[in-house]
Amino acid sequence: MINNKFIAIEGIEGSGKTESCKIIYNILKNYGIKNILIVREPGGTSIAEKIRKIIISFNKNEKLNKKTELFLIYASRIQLVETIIKPALKKGYIVIGDRHDLSSLAYQGGGLGIDLNIIRTLKKIAIDNFSPSLTIYLDIDPIIGLQRIKSRKYLDRIENKDISFFINTRNSYLKLIKNNPKIVTINTSQKKSIVQNHLELIIKKWIKEQTVYNGIRG
């Protein structure tokens, strides 16, 4: 049985990340995997959640500098990786992450225009070579994604950004995932049932690959 693996779910607002994490959780449960943990970024620990509030909240008196946002994201990520994810992986858990490092390259890189070399350098300092075993990118047209979240009672600072921000972020995602064998893409503008079927196929194939790999090594 597979264990101690990290799966990251990526995508812009309205792409269905949170729901997909729950679907994957249930798929893994159906395969008899008991130790599964879902985490989110930014956040996931007491300290990281406080940082999250700073990142997503509006501040009338002071604008959050884009580099400050980047550093706060990584401060939150360090807390989550070091105090929750790594210990869980050592205990044999499969961890499902609602966002991870690819988000920084897409959002703060593509969306805010920060040099990707700066982000990659910061990533190396913060979490070194730590990365997911599998990343699932949920692709959606920003117009459709933003329409989906309009029904929410409250939209945070990030969700309220201009459509151009999300277009740039999505374009950045598409460039970053190109030709990366560890990243699988799903078009989530489709019906939920179709998306769920795609998730099931991806996880089933991934489990088979991990089982074969572990068997060869063993």
The pLDDT tens digits for 5-28 are 999 999 999 999 999 999 999 999
Q: pLDDT tens digits, residue range 130-174?
A: 999 999 999 999 999 999 999 888 999 999 999 999 999 999 999
Q: pLDDT tens digits, residue range 190-209?
A: 999 999 999 999 999 999 98
Comparing 210 with 158, which gets the higher pLDDT? 158
Long-range (24+ apart) CB contacts under 8 A made by 187-194 are 187/139, 187/140, 188/11, 188/15, 188/16, 188/20, 188/138, 188/139, 188/140, 189/140, 189/141, 189/144, 192/16, 192/19
| Distances from the Cα of 165 to the Cα of 49, 55, 109, 115, 116, angstroms | 24, 16, 11, 16, 16
At 218 the pLDDT is: 34
Mean pLDDT of 46-62: 96
Number of domains in the chain: 1
Residues in the chain: 218
List of residues 6+ apart from 43 with CB closer than 8 A = 49, 51, 52, 76, 80
Mean pLDDT of 180-190: 95
Closest CA to 172 of 103, 70, 121: 103
- Residue 114, CB half-sphere, CA atoms under 13 Å: how many? 21
Name the pTM for this structure. Answer: 0.94
High-pLDDT (> 90) share of the chain, %: 89
Q: pLDDT tens digits, residue range 58-77?
A: 998 999 999 999 999 999 99
The answer to whether residue 213 scores a pLDDT higher than 80 is no
Using alpha carbons only, give the angle 92, 88, 53 rounded to the nearest 5 degrees: 155
Residue 210 binned pLDDT confidence (cut-offs 50, 70, 90): confident
Residue 137 belongs to what domain range?
5-217
Q: pLDDT tens digits, residue range 95-127?
A: 999 999 999 999 999 999 999 999 999 999 999
The answer to whether residue 86 scores a pLDDT higher than 80 is yes
The Cα 218–Cα 203 span in angstroms is: 22
For the chain, the straight-line distance linking the first and the last C-alpha, in angstroms and rounded, comes to 12
At 217 the pLDDT is: 41
At 153 the pLDDT is: 84
Q: What is the CATH number of the domain that holds 44?
A: 3.40.50.300
Q: Is the four-CA dihedral 94, 169, 42, 138 of positive or negative sign?
A: negative
Residue 1 binned pLDDT confidence (cut-offs 50, 70, 90): low
At 216 the pLDDT is: 42
At 211 the pLDDT is: 77
Residue 202 has φ and ψ, to the nearest 5°, of -65, -45
